């Protein structure tokens, strides 16, 4: 791999790591707002997998002499916090519409993560089992979709 490609890959991984930070923050929020439900239980497992995948990206960055961007991670963290300030039928309380919008956001973030694993597989790096990570992410996407369908029904039916 050329020096330029390695440099691009380090930036790419840093960007995706920042997205994963925001994804984890959002998943924690949704889990907290949906305590003692099947969604909460699913999100606990989701967060475990996401944490393991974040660790893998951090290790991969380290093997490439790359460093996570604290600024990008802080920006992603802040974007999740600012995303809470939206009118979803109630300014002060979590609503069924909030749940739908946040599950849709998680779906987008998990889709980006799946794409990252595909890109890393295509890069043919020696480090990491990216296909296994992609498979786990696809399973999460399928379950997210099921929870989203259920949440949508509560809003539109």
Dihedral sign, CA of 133, 31, 68, 19?
Answer: positive
In whole angstroms, how far apart are CA 94 and each of 29, 58, 99, 116, 143? Answer: 10, 33, 8, 31, 22
pLDDT (mean) for 83-95: 62
140 has a pLDDT exceeding 80: yes
Summary mean pLDDT of the chain: 87
**Longest Cα separation, the chain:** 55
| Whole-number Å distance between alpha carbons of 34 and 87 | 19
How many alpha carbons fall within 13 Å on the CB side of residue 111? 8
Q: Which of 98, 91, 107, 95 is nearest to 144 (CA)?
A: 107
- Which of 18-27, 80-89, 118-127 is the most confident on average? 18-27
Confidence grade of residue 5 (pLDDT, cut at 50, 70, 90)? confident
125 compared with 46, residue with greater pLDDT: 46
Domain 3-156: CATH class, spelled out: mainly alpha
What pLDDT score does 157 carry?
A: 82
């Amino acid at each position: 791999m050329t020096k330029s490609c390695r440099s691009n890959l380090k930036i790419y991984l840093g960007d995706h790591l920042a997205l994963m930070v925001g994804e984890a923050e959002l998943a924690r929020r949704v889990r907290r707002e949906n305590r003692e439900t099947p969604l909460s239980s699913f999100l606990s497992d989701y967060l475990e997998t996401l944490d393991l995948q974040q660790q893998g990206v951090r290790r991969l960055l380290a093997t490439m002499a790359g460093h996570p961007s604290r600024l990008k991670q802080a920006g992603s963290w802040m974007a999740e916090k600012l995303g809470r300030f939206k009118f979803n039928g109630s300014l002060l309380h979590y609503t069924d519409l909030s749940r739908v919008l946040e599950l849709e956001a998680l779906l987008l973030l998990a889709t980006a993560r799946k794409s990252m694993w595909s890109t890393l597989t295509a890069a043919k790096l020696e480090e990491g089992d990216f296909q296994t990570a992609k498979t786990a992410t696809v399973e999460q996407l399928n379950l997210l979709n099921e929870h989203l369908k259920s949440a949508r029904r509560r809003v539109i039916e």
